[in-house]
Structure 1
Amino acid sequence: MLSSLVIAAILLLTRLTDAWGTLGHETVAWIAQSYVSSDTKDAVQTILDSKASDYMANVSTWADSFRYSDGAAWSAPLHYIDANDSPPESCSVDFNRDCGDAGCSVSAIVNYTSILLDDESKASLKLDAMRFIIHFVGDLHQPLHDEALDVGGNTINVTYDGDDTNLHHIWDTEIVEQLADGQDAEAFAKNLTAAIKAGGYGWDASTWLTGASLNDTKATAMTWASEANAYVCSDVLAAGVDAVEEGDLSGTYYTAHYDVARIQLARAGYRLGAWLNLIYTGQTGA
């Protein structure tokens, strides 16, 4: 039997996976850039001290790098909320049950939103808050960042395109890369943004901001987390753990479930842009 110290070490190491990977996070940020108002864009660029065309995309993975730096381990739990549910039979997220004492993605979004809303916040605090918000809204939309089972799928061993990896990693990276089909983040985001505006794939973006409000940031973030978590039961682990540990998931599994990654990337970018608009203009602008 593994000792408690060994188990703790495993849990720490397996939680180092990046939600969506670089391509996914940059795609979310590029989509958001398409939806921010001119006033919001000015505010964000001022905080980030950047006039670059990819001003949000180029900081979208900063939070993943930051947590590896000296003294930043405290930020690791903020990348996820561990839903202690029972997929595939039952999926649910409960803030009091699932957001630990060290915090979680939901509490982080609440905290960093409040910093951005506070005119008295120091510039250095606002810089970190902006970079965290850009990243954590993306994290929240990856279904396995809203799941505790097998450390969010990190300890579920799978095969993808002939490579041995884990379930969490393929949802972060391989499924997104296969979906992008060679496009870089900017091009991929342009295609997803066009689909949002056209109502492609049956999407109705007018419903994606239902209930979004700065008056209750926790409720808003919990709504988005619960929506993502539901996919763990309906798609990610619909047939159970044993099923995903068999065969190569780049085939029929990908075909059956890639649309979850596509809509969640689109929602994350759309909502991030709208959330920043709410902070700086009081209107979603979407």
Structure 2
Amino acid sequence: MQSLLNVLLLFTTYLNLVAAWGSLGHRTTTALALLYIPQDHPAELLLQTLLHGQDPTTAALFPDRIRYIPSFAYTAPWHYIDALDNPPHQCGINITRDCLPEGCVVSAIANHTDRVASPSLPLWQRGQSLRFMLHFFGDVHQPLHTENLSRGGNDIDITFDGAKHNLHSVWDTLIPKKIVEIAGEKKLLNSNQWDLKNETEAAYAWAEFLYARYRGSTIAEEVYSVCTHDAAECSLRWASEANKWVCKYVFEGGLEELQNKDLGGEYFEGAVPIIEEMVLKGGRRLARWLMMIAWDLKHELAETKTDEMIVQEL
């Protein structure tokens, strides 16, 4: 009994760790996608049907929550693509060199897009793949999820606002969290009714802020015409775009400079527009993909909805 209790405690610890790892960015990417989907579009029904009414921003956290469970360990490589480049001197992704035989975020987006859109699969499998898809649209836009150096920065110890962290966690978690905290303090977000401790509400508030802030901007116009012709090619293009920031900013001054200064000041300020741009692009692109898939499945979705209504009436 004690052994079982220890396993459960360890498992709970993993869940708590993973649930906080980059979850604000993932929630916000998905919340932005919801803002870009027109009201009454079949994509709304797609999300409702395959997620069984679960909040999509919570569904987007599923891949992180299960990756440390032994039966799902095979999914771990899907969260990244390890570019074997040489930052800050040279950055770039080579799909045949950098995508592991077990898969990577580029191949995972392509695979799960196909599974979500496949009427031959049971709904529960398509719902699981939709959760992976929501998550990986966030991962592919995070620069350090496209870089091999020091395991994407996980092995690089730095200081952020006086505390010791690793560089990956700075980009995954600390910068997004600080952006939202500052915006809340300055009343830039609709913060009268939400508490920063409620991450879901914080993500929706940040998504609304980004949606309004960049409406009509060059970035918003750039992502309006989203690549939708081929899932593998499009996701590779997005990963390559994120990887460029590894040389242009993440490691621009070299490793020694990163380790010899607190990244919570000037470095943070320079990273803010990059994080905002990548989260915005991830959300916009996710919306277009969901809309594209749902439009092709609109007749199936309508029939599924009708069947559910009949069951409810009985």
- State whether TM-score is above 0.5: yes
Is the CA contact (8 Å cut-off) linking 1:29 and 1:134 kept in structure 2? yes
How far, CA to CA, are the matches of 1:152 and 1:25 in structure 2? 18
Match of 2:212 among 190, 194, 204: 194
Is the CA contact (8 Å cut-off) linking 1:22 and 1:61 kept in structure 2? yes
How far, CA to CA, are the matches of 2:147 and 2:19 in structure 1? 15
Match of 1:229 among 219, 243, 257: 243
Asked if 1:138 corresponds to 2:152, the answer is: no
Match of 1:253 among 263, 267, 270: 267
Aligned residue for 1:84?
84
Kindly report structure 1 stretches of 4+ aligned residues shifted beyond 6 Å.
16-20
Is the CA contact (8 Å cut-off) linking 1:30 and 1:186 kept in structure 2? yes
Which letter does structure 2 place at the counterpart of 1:104?
Answer: C
Aligned residue for 2:312?
none
Once the two structures are TM-superposed, the CA of residue 209 in structure 1 deviates from its matched residue by: 5.2
How far, CA to CA, are the matches of 2:180 and 2:89 in structure 1? 31
Is the CA contact (8 Å cut-off) linking 2:112 and 2:132 kept in structure 1? yes
Aligned residue for 2:252?
238
Is the CA contact (8 Å cut-off) linking 2:109 and 2:137 kept in structure 1? yes
Once the two structures are TM-superposed, the CA of residue 204 in structure 1 deviates from its matched residue by: 3.1
Which letter does structure 1 place at the counterpart of 2:58?
Answer: N
Aligned-residue RMSD, C-alpha? 1.9
Per-residue deviation, residues 56-87 of structure 1 (Å, max 9, x unmatched):
11211111001122311000000000011111
Per-residue deviation, residues 84-131 of structure 1 (Å, max 9, x unmatched):
111111110111010011100000001000111211111121011100
Which letter does structure 2 place at the counterpart of 1:246?
Answer: N
Q: Output aligned runs, 1:179-218, within 5 Å.
A: 179-181=179-181, 182=184, 184-199=202-217, 203-208=218-223, 210=225, 212-213=227-228, 215-218=229-232
Is the CA contact (8 Å cut-off) linking 2:118 and 2:126 kept in structure 1? no
Asked if 1:24 corresponds to 2:25, the answer is: yes
Aligned residue for 2:301?
none
Once the two structures are TM-superposed, the CA of residue 178 in structure 1 deviates from its matched residue by: 1.1
Per-residue deviation, residues 211-260 of structure 1 (Å, max 9, x unmatched):
612x4211100110000000000011111111111111001111122211
How far, CA to CA, are the matches of 2:24 and 2:224 in structure 1? 24
Structure 1 pair 17–234 and aligned structure 2 pair: CA distance change class (3 A): farther
Is the CA contact (8 Å cut-off) linking 1:19 and 1:138 kept in structure 2? no
Is the CA contact (8 Å cut-off) linking 2:142 and 2:171 kept in structure 1? yes
Alignment gaps of 5+ in structure 1: 1-12
How far, CA to CA, are the matches of 2:66 and 2:159 in structure 1? 30
Is the CA contact (8 Å cut-off) linking 1:85 and 1:93 kept in structure 2? yes
Structure 1 pair 19–110 and aligned structure 2 pair: CA distance change class (3 A): farther
Aligned residue for 1:46?
49
Once the two structures are TM-superposed, the CA of residue 20 in structure 1 deviates from its matched residue by: 6.8
Asked if 1:75 corresponds to 2:75, the answer is: yes
Is the CA contact (8 Å cut-off) linking 1:20 and 1:142 kept in structure 2? no
Once the two structures are TM-superposed, the CA of residue 179 in structure 1 deviates from its matched residue by: 1.0
Q: TM-score, normalised by structure 2?
A: 0.79
Aligned residue for 1:7?
none
Per-residue deviation, residues 32-73 of structure 1 (Å, max 9, x unmatched):
1111242111111100010x6xx2112111110011223110
Is the CA contact (8 Å cut-off) linking 2:80 and 2:146 kept in structure 1? yes
**Bigger shift: 73-82 or 120-129?**
120-129
How far, CA to CA, are the matches of 2:157 and 2:114 in structure 1? 39
Is the CA contact (8 Å cut-off) linking 1:85 and 1:92 kept in structure 2? yes
Structure of greater Rg:
2
Secondary structure in structure 2 of the residue aligned to 1:118: coil
Is the CA contact (8 Å cut-off) linking 1:20 and 1:176 kept in structure 2? no
How far, CA to CA, are the matches of 1:210 and 1:42 in structure 2? 23
Once the two structures are TM-superposed, the CA of residue 210 in structure 1 deviates from its matched residue by: 4.7
